[in-house]
Amino acid sequence: MTLDFDTARQQLDDLIHRYRDRADFLAIRLEESQATDIALRGDRFETLSESLAVGGQVRACWKGGWGFASFNRLSQLEERLQEAIAAARLIGTETTELAPVDPVRAIWTAPLTGRSPDQVALAEKKALCQHYTEILRSGDRRIASTSVRYGDSHQRLLLATSEGTLLEQSWSDWEMRFAATAREGDRVQTGRETTGSRRGWEDLLGLDGAVQGARDRALQSLSLPVVEAGTYTVVIDPILTGLFVHEAFGHLSEADMAYENPELLEVMSLGRRFGPETLQIFDGAAPEGHRGSYAYDDEGVPASTTALITDGVLTGRLHSRETAGKLGEAPTGNARCLDFHYPPIVRMTNTWIAPGTTPAADLIQGIEQGVFARNWLGGMTNGEMFTFSAGEAWMIRNGELAEPVRDVTLSGNVFSTLAAIEAIGDDFVWDESGGCGKGGQSGLPVGCGGPSLRIRDVVVGGEASD
């Protein structure tokens, strides 16, 4: 079953007109999506599937109370609309506070530079996964296991609101993940690489060097010494910078976390200094061509670019219409949902640190003993605390790169770490590998990026010295 969007537009207009007086705000979203999921572990396919989903959601707000219902049968639309309104009226006791926006009537499609998912046969996608698996497995008996994950999706949605918005949007998205695990005796090391795109299938081709790099890192790490744990001046590459700004700082900038937590709202007070005057941090879906890019968010708010930190000072945060209304600030176009099963919540889009003026090659100069870390294996955050694992690392001795080391983890408090930035490189890299999770909605495409950074007093985990 596929959606007839011409008929659906008329149906949504009619339902909104008939029910809009029963709630302070109504939104109906219909969605059609196609997806491919492939998981190849070693030479065994664990998943090889294509799917088509059609469904929708209804959101209703009455006196500050929200009702939500999702469905996958269009015949249930009016019934679910009534249920959402009834739920909102049952719990609403205060005042509906939604930041005002102009209604939008538009059709937008994300531009492609290559083939879309439906133009590539499943057999061709399967063959690409096998090709990259052969690279991961080849050349050394110490490779104990490999995995390749492929996913693509094409979403087309229709959004109508009681304020007059009638918006159609569509986009395609791709992601691939590669991992090789090497074993020698009781020592086990893993190399990973991830990539993504919203531009075209061709962006996933020709990745042989990156895939081989993941395998080689796993093998080389088997013989490397473990870094001596301690506190160091650390230089991180743009990929780690992007991970840091997204995970450690970006989530704290999402306003739903702040207005529900008075202590965090006080910590994240606009006008507070968090870093040096050279530090600029942004988030926005307006820059085109990235995995977090779009024209309108899932409430119909136009995409924008928000300056989160300007000259080291907190100047903005990310909003839905409700969080903007409650905090008396302007909406930023950051209300997003993974698909029709979930309501929109405040989410990052593309988050980045702007480049500085220090030549990247000069960042290690003057460091008597430090660590240079690049790429990432994984990480976690808990409020303002973070821990990230580097994909590769070298010691810095007397201002020069020295021996490579393994098992490097970087830990700290995000606010202390921002304040400890000593220099910002003049380089910049976008990382399109992100799939963000929040509120049970995991895998939402995002972009992140930044320059190389030099940071003092970073806790580096490894092996304690005797």
Q: What is the pLDDT of residues 175-216, one digit of tens each?
A: 999 999 999 999 999 999 999 999 999 999 999 999 999 999
Residue 464 resides in a domain: no
Give the DSSP letter string of 104-143: -EEEEE---SS--GGGS-HHHHHHHHHHHHHHHHTT-TTE
Residues 177 and 298 in one domain: no
Q: Where are the beta strands (DSSP E) in 256-399?
A: 281-284, 305-310, 313-314, 335-336, 345-346, 350-353, 369-382, 385-397
Whole-angstrom Cα distance, residue 376 to residue 429?
14
Whole-angstrom Cα distance, residue 118 to residue 154?
8
Residues 214 and 243 in one domain: no
Model confidence band, residue 466 (pLDDT cutoffs 50, 70, 90)? very low
What is the residue whose two structure tokens read 């810095």? 396
Tell me the pLDDT of the chain averaged across its residues: 95
pLDDT, tens digit, for every residue of 216-232? 999 999 999 999 999 99
H/E element, 255: helix 255-259
Residue 307 pLDDT: 98
Residues 209 and 233 in one domain: no
Whole-angstrom Cα distance, residue 374 to residue 240?
6
Residue where a domain stops, chosen among 197, 220, 243:
220
Residues 209 and 335 in one domain: no
Residues 51 and 22 in one domain: yes
Residues 165 and 247 in one domain: no
Residues 200 and 134 in one domain: yes
Q: Taking 90 as the threshold, does the pLDDT of residue 278 lie above it?
A: yes
Whole-angstrom Cα distance, residue 320 to residue 108?
20
Residues 447 and 336 in one domain: yes
Residues 105 and 182 in one domain: yes
Total of domains in the chain? 2
Domain range for residue 173? 3-220
Residue where a domain stops, chosen among 198, 220, 242:
220
Residue where a domain stops, chosen among 191, 220, 249:
220
